[in-house]
Structure formats: structure tokens, C-alpha cells
Amino acid sequence: MVSTLRKSLQTIEDYKIANPHYNDILDILGEILIVREEYRNNMKESIFSVDENIIAQKMEGGLPLIDFTGGNFDLTRPREYFNSLIAIAERKMPEDAKNIVEIIGNQQFDWEKMIRASFDHTEDEPVVESRKTLEDTEDNLDLIDLFVEESLRPELEYVADKYAKSVAKFGWTEGYCPICGKEPKIGEIRGEEDGKRYLFCHQCGYKWNFRRIKCPFCGNEEQHSLAYFAVEGEERYHVDVCNKCRRYIKTVELSKAAEETNLDVEDIATLHLDMLAYEEGYN
């Protein structure tokens, strides 16, 4: 794990040189990776438990191992972790952090409600009520979204690591994560034209195989309504879009021999692709 963290931090430094516009957020991500590792090293078990007797039933029924919206969990540790993430912002981006602290201090801000909403696929946008009334704070709210998602990451990553092999045996075919149920933001394709496609869950860090010609969000398999675009000079990345549901997902192309890639880092380093997708009317 130490060597993996070291490689990820080096990748962040490399991307900071190539994309200086993202220096602040990449710095914060580097700090997050360090405190996440510390959190995991101090864990004996996760706050999320899995009934191993019904794993097969859940997988066959298209149900993730963890039902966050329907369960009651002790969120003390994740809440403390969230506060430590805010402290990172205060060190790295003091001016922005002032606004963030003001937002989370607002009576309308409900951390737990925000987390639960992010797992609800029927919600158009997992946001706090205060989004409706706060103005000119979108960047800060996006950063808060990142911290809220990260606050559960070590706990769910523990579950993903523990049950990864068991889950892989069932050939999960859904577009949402088999561990926690979250939808992916980025994926990878390894190899040439026949390479396998994998989707990545930012919430728990799990990767699963998924059909190349299929929208993970609506299940559309009609090739004429599935497309992609890339930026000249960055052919390693492309954005897969579905013209039925107007959703998109970013993809990293990797060779079969490529080392394991940290898709948390790749996601931040390709934020400009998200902007382009939004401009084209995808979400």
C-alpha cells in the first residue's frame, strides 16, 4: 500500500506540471490519499457489515452488498474524517475554506442527508437544501461534494477489498457498483480493440467489468445512439456519451502491460473533459 500511495503521489506531481490549472485540487487530493491511508491503517473493521449468507442472492438480484439508504450505521468515524478533510482545505486553500466552513455551518446543511441523497439514484443531484439559496458558491459546493463522498471511502473501501474476489465470481452486469450501489464517473479499457472495459466506483474504489457497447446508466445498447469524443493530443482519454439518457462517463485507454492506474487521480486530472461534456448537454 505504501508503494501504491507513493506512485499515486508522484503521478499527482507529474500532472501538476502538465496541468498547473489543477494544482490546488491535485494538492488536496494528495493530502486526501495520505489521510485515507492513515484511516485505513487504523481500522480493524468497517462500520458496514455484510451478511455473507446472502451475497449470492444479492448479486443475482442486482442488489449491492451495502444498502446505505436503508440501513442505520454509526457514522461517527466518517463524520470525524469529514472534518479532517475540511482541515485540509483550510491549510491548502484558506480563502476557499472560509466559504466552505460558512456553508457547512449553515443550518440548512445536513451532512448525513447529503450522503444519503448521493446514494439515491432517483435524485437528479445529490445536494444540500442550501444549494437553492446560496449564490456564487458552486466551486465550493463541488469541493464539499468531494469531501462528503470521501468521508465514507475508507469504510466502504475496506468492504470492497474484503469481498472483491467473491463479488467478481458472479459476473455483475449492472452499471452501478456491486459493493455500494454508486454510479461510476470514470472507467478504463485495457488492451487494444478487444480490451476489456472496467468501471470504477469513487465511493468504495471497486472496479468491475462492463460491456463496452452499453450505457451504464440507462442500459442502452444501440450503437447508433452511443458515441464518444476526445480532445486532440489527449487520445489516451475519451468521453463516452449516450444520446438516449444524455449521460456520460470518462474513459482512460491503457495498454495490457500498463501498471495499475489510480483513477481517483485520473478523474481530477481530466476535469476539463467534464466541462466539455456539460457544455455539450450531457450530465
Domain-wise residue ranges, the chain: 43-172, 183-283
Q: What is the pLDDT of residues 136-154, one digit of tens each?
A: 445 566 889 999 999 999 9
Of the pLDDT bands very low, low, confident and very high (cuts 50, 70, 90), residue 257 is confident
- Residue 73's pLDDT is what? 93
- Residue 68's pLDDT is what? 87
Q: Inform me whether the pLDDT recorded for 128 exceeds 60.
A: no
Give me the mean pLDDT over the 117-145 stretch.
59
- Residue 69's pLDDT is what? 80
Of the pLDDT bands very low, low, confident and very high (cuts 50, 70, 90), residue 129 is very low
- CA 5 – CA 144 distance, rounded (Å): 23
Q: Model-level pTM?
A: 0.91
Residue 93: HSE in the Cβ half-sphere, 13 Å Cα cutoff: 21
Q: What is the pLDDT of residues 231-246, one digit of tens each?
A: 999 989 999 999 999 9
- Compute the C-alpha angle 184/111/26, nearest 5°: 50
Between 200 and 124, residue with greater pLDDT = 200
Q: Which of 227, 183, 226 is nearest to 206 (CA)?
A: 183
How are beta strands 248-254 and 186-190 bridged, if at all?
A: parallel
What percent of the chain lies above the pLDDT cut of 70? 91
What percent of the chain lies above the pLDDT cut of 90? 75
Torsion angle of the four alpha carbons 14, 16, 17, 20, in this order, in degrees rounded to the nearest 10: 160
Torsion 50-51-53-58 (CA) sign: negative
Of the pLDDT bands very low, low, confident and very high (cuts 50, 70, 90), residue 127 is very low
Give me the mean pLDDT over the 42-51 stretch.
95
Q: Which residue has the cell 455551518?
A: 105
The mean of the pLDDT values for the chain is 90
- Residue 133's pLDDT is what? 40
Q: Which of 213, 281, 217, 277 is nearest to 245 (CA)?
A: 217
- CA 203 – CA 36 distance, rounded (Å): 13
